[in-house]
């Protein structure tokens, strides 16, 4: 489940991939940085990461580059094989 800013939540792996593919068809990333500020384990099967991100992109149809910055909180769930996968992903903009 992904909870993006100013949009309804996106549920399901195929739906998340589709949303990302549609976005990447519109913009080309010039720079992308994620800075994790905290990671904590919550019991044996859940963990979360919190941090900030910035990126610069330009429209694929032409136009000036634009920047974006915000923060995120991602919850991970341990899988039966011991690996960790994203369970919930929330991100928000710092822009008005």
pLDDT 10s digits, 35-70: 999 999 999 999 999 999 999 999 999 999 999 999
Tally the domains of the chain: 1
What percentage of the chain exceeds 90 in pLDDT? 95
d(CA 16, CA 47): 21
Q: Which residues contact 36 (CB under 8 A, 6 or more apart)?
A: 49, 50, 51
The boundaries of the domain holding residue 63 are 2-93
Q: Is 11 helix (H, G, I), strand (E, B) or coil?
A: coil
Give this prediction's pTM. 0.83
**CATH number of the domain that residue 76 is part of:** 3.10.450.50
Residue 6 confidence (pLDDT): 87
Q: Where are the beta strands (DSSP E) in the chain?
A: 2-3, 27-42, 46-59, 66-78, 84-93
Q: What is the radius of gyration, based on Cα positions, of the chain?
A: 15
Helix residue ranges, H only, 1-96: 13-26
Per the CB < 8 A criterion, the answer to whether 36 and 50 are in contact is yes
Q: Is 65 helix (H, G, I), strand (E, B) or coil?
A: coil
Residue 71 confidence (pLDDT): 98
């Amino acid at each position: 489940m992904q909870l993006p800013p100013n949009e309804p939540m996106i549920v399901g792996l195929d739906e998340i991939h589709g949303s990302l593919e549609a976005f990447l068809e519109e913009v080309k990333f010039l720079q992308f940085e994620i800075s994790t500020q905290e990671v904590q384990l919550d019991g044996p099967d859940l963990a979360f990461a919190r941090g900030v991100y910035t990126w610069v992109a330009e429209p694929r149809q032409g136009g000036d580059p634009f920047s974006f910055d915000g923060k995120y909180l991602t919850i991970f769930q341990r899988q039966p094989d011991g690996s960790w996968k994203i369970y919930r992903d929330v991100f928000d903009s710092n822009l008005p």
